[in-house]
Amino acid sequence: MNVVAIFDIGKTNKKVFLFNENYKIVWEKSVNLVETVDEDGFPCEDIELLKSWMLERLSEIKSLEGYNLKAINFSTYGASFVYVDSEGNALTPLYNYLKDYPESLENDFYGKYKGRENFAVKTASPVLGSLNSGMQIYRLKEKRP
């Protein structure tokens, strides 16, 4: 049976599903992984644990009899990204979007761009602190270049 694997990486639950050609789930696994902390001691995703879980599931899927894996897709939560080097190694944690955004840095940013409301309207990007991945990038640029 031809299948597509979908990794659904939520904040709490990590799941992988196999869908057949009729979009029916024919196999699934889920897990809750233990978090780690970032450089400020704030809880965040343990990227190595997540990576290991995903690779183990891929290996498991490949060993399943009767399934022909045709494609893999991913969905993730919130403002989720990790900087990687040229070899694909993680350079930063997968920061938690619930982490408070430094007020002084936010004020500095919006001061440069004619205020919160003006920036939000012009970019269609609401003022949401760390839930805005662009603001996470700005924090890294300014605080951890």
CATH number of the domain residue 16 falls in: 3.30.420.40
Q: Are residues 132 and 68 in the same domain?
A: no
Q: Are residues 22 and 65 in the same domain?
A: yes
Token readout for 61 is 């899927």
Strand order in the sheet with 2-9: 25-31, 14-19, 2-9, 68-76
Q: Are residues 70 and 133 in the same domain?
A: no
Q: Are residues 72 and 29 in the same domain?
A: yes
Residue 94 lies in a domain: no
pTM (2 decimals)? 0.85
The answer to whether 51 touches 108, Cβ cutoff 8 Å, is no
pLDDT along the chain (145 residues), means of 10: 97 96 98 96 96 97 97 91 92 93 95 93 91 92 92
Q: Are residues 107 and 72 in the same domain?
A: no
Domain range for 112 is 103-143
